[in-house]
Chains A and B, each alone.
Chain A
């Protein structure tokens, strides 16, 4: 539920406000007035993520008038929401109050709100015994919202009114109830009772309480304030983003983001689960179950479905139901399928949950088979993508899924199919990890040998076909003709994580990732400054993404570059401190020397799962945590600005274990934080070495 700072909802404005559930907006208007006046918020309390308290006074003028009336709205999201309205008369005279709540619902589908599309069904309103019902109907699709109050109120089609005479120093309260309903053939069903098939499931208050969630997660002790604050914020946000799993009773997987992406997303759920493995591994288990359950079984061009393919997105609202959008579910991601196998293996390494590996053997094999049987669109032995749904399918099926994210250095957009580089890394990793699973759990060493052979061959041809020898980095992609798409982009960092990079090439790759063209001072940009389509506030063509940086840091540690990984970690925690500990989806790729703070990219998603997971993964990389032979290896490399980290009660196959690291390391690449005026004046000096520059970390 999203409202303005005073607790009101008015969806006619530009902000995505409302009460959302199952991809539908069940309330789009909720405005409180007292004697015809709107109120002003004094402060807002986020009690827990599903409860909020608003403190208000009547009047909206900029000049403060001594108020005798104060109002508290206490709201809890619970199968819709309950709002306790409390009004206090602090004055010496009784007051006649006309308390009005305007209520309405447009039942907008999440796609409609983003794209501003008109509705095809019809709305209705009626006053029933003790409640106002607003509804929407289109053929057999019917949704309703029921609004009622605990105190007698006058109900009309546009809201409720209380007429109250409030004596001096008295208070008055009423509880309002807003409850969504889905009309099924057998009758009206509330959200709480809705079967999982329709997207129902328990709301946040029914999950293990927030206290248990915190108690089960590792505790952090760190004197570096941004890290402790960010860690706590991440845990809260990941709790808020839990989405009920149809596959696992009581299980929940991470939805991609609030409020638009409270849905099952393959890629986001997998990456978030990977980031959170050492902290809240239950997310990974639910994710694996759910994605296995939804795996593709047929060829369907409208949904870009193939047998064995892991879903991209599942939606339950009107547009998906009437097939105006393909998300029922949609399979147009080329990375989720190999990543599914990667998550299954990594999860077992941490948890020792061999049973799940055996339970999902069929799904994992089908995912591995997809790589060879359906993904090799160009016949070159690479995963490539091209949408078959040309109306509403996704053009780019990698994580950078905006239309212009894959370009050449000169700005040209390659044709389709496209084989982006990180997909090949994921394929390599999936085959290597799949081999381990086959050998140790599926009793199939022949299959293991085959996978390892395939992986070795893939690594060899990848390093030959994607490497741009003249420049010393990997091409972003191969185009439809198999030619290199030569933009310099962050995707190479994922290659490091996967292990597909030849050891001899790692140094050059990392040098590019840390160079001023890609590294902004805060983190690695999605696209380098020298590429034609670079734009510091272009969604995938110049911004800095925390999730991207967390995977890149993981890759740097894999290849033995802990200092660079620590620089990325430090940059992210410093950036987080500007956002109250909640890293945004992305922030601007402006050079850090230019502004003193990271510039937030405007987006409707807040929080976002893999941004909340990024600090967790960065803590893992700084501590060098790696499960091996049933134990947890701790190999810390911390910058001295962070000091020391104690991570207590890390869950895993070992039970619970503590890890400790001390920050000895003075990072050699510390971004220049000198004020702009200093930098400008030094640029006018005649000595050539006075020009400031971000030093190359590898010079030492």
Chain B
């Protein structure tokens, strides 16, 4: 059975670069909670280059905390992260701008054509 969270992080590593994050730089930590267990992921963003790793980083510019089930729904596009944060279902703290930029990476609902703008590659769009 596939793990949607894992898939989301794999996708980030596969892309390697996203123009939507070209004005962003920093480290985002994602805490996935399940009971008393917390799994940490670190998203490194550097002028559009993105990578996801479980290797610990000394500090994070922003932190997202959600229980695993909630995060899976967001990773699949079944739940909107911005609304979830606004109602307290996910907690977010740190660099707001980095967080807002990161939230744009989440996909649209399953079944939506072209699930999201994948903005990779060079500067020009033709």
Chain A residues within 8 Å of B, Cβ to Cβ: 138-142, 183-186, 195-198, 246-247, 293-294, 296-300, 303, 307-308, 316, 318, 320-323, 328-329, 359, 361-362, 365-366, 369, 444, 447
Contact = CB atoms under 8 A, between A and B. Distances in A.
B84 to A, nearest CB: 8
A362 B22 contact: yes
Given A139-B88, A299-B112, A323-B83, A294 B117 contact: no
A444 B93 contact: no
A320 B86 contact: yes
Contacts of B87: 138-141, 318, 321-322
B20 interface: yes
Contacts of A140: 87-89
15 contacts: A139-B87, A141-B88, A186-B91, A247-B97, A293-B101, A296-B117, A298-B112, A298-B116, A299-B108, A299-B115, A300-B112, A307-B116, A320-B86, A323-B80, A447-B124
A329 B96 CA distance: 16
B15 interface: no
A616 to B, nearest CB: 29
B2 interface: no
A328 B101 CA distance: 15
Contact of A185 (B88, B107, B117): B88
Contacts of A183: 88
A197 B88 contact: no
Contact of A328 (B22, B83, B93, B116): B83
B28 interface: no
B54 interface: no
A447 B125 CA distance: 9
Given A186-B91, A197-B85, A298-B115, 7 more contacts: A184-B93, A197-B96, A297-B20, A298-B107, A298-B108, A300-B112, A320-B83
A195 B94 CA distance: 7
The 6 closest A-B pairs by CB, nearest first: A140-B88, A321-B86, A196-B96, A321-B87, A298-B108, A298-B116
A214 to B, nearest CB: 29
Judged by DSSP, the binding face of B is loop
A321 B92 contact: no
A288 to B, nearest CB: 12
Contacts of A321: 83, 86-88
A198 B124 contact: no
A328 B117 contact: no
A229 B16 CA distance: 56
Contacts of A195: 92-94, 96
A195 B91 CA distance: 11
Contacts of B119: 362
Contacts of A447: 124
Contacts of A316: 86
A181 B19 CA distance: 36
A299 B115 CA distance: 7
Give the interface size class of chain B: 35 or more
A328 B80 contact: yes
Contacts of B112: 298-300
A236 B86 CA distance: 31
A298 B93 contact: no
A247 B23 CA distance: 10
A596 to B, nearest CB: 49
B82 A329 contact: yes
A300 B20 CA distance: 18
A140, A298, A366 — most chain B CB neighbours (10 Å): A298
A225 B93 CA distance: 50
Contacts of A366: 117, 125
Contacts of A142: 88
Contact of B100 (A294, A296, A308, A444): A294
Contact of B123 (A141, A359, A361): A361
A186, A196, A246, A297 — most chain B CB neighbours (10 Å): A297
A337 to B, nearest CB: 14
A293 B93 contact: no
B103 to A, nearest CB: 9
Given A297-B117, A299-B112, A300-B109, A246 B96 contact: yes
A293 B91 contact: no
A140 B91 CA distance: 10
A139 B90 CA distance: 12
Contacts of A196: 96-97
Contacts of B117: 296-298, 307-308, 366
Contacts of A293: 97, 100-101
A361 B17 CA distance: 17
Contacts of B85: 197-198
Nearest to A328: B83
A321 B89 CA distance: 10
Contacts of B116: 297-298, 307
Contacts of A369: 125
B114 interface: yes
Contacts of A303: 80
A595 to B, nearest CB: 46
Contacts of B96: 195-197, 246
Contacts of B65: 185
Contacts of B105: 297
A198 B86 contact: yes
Contacts of A323: 80, 83
Nearest to B108: A298
B99 interface: yes
B113 interface: yes
Contacts of B83: 320-323, 328
B80 A359 contact: no
Contacts of A361: 123
Given A299-B112, A320-B86, A197 B100 contact: yes
B6 interface: no
A163 B82 CA distance: 48
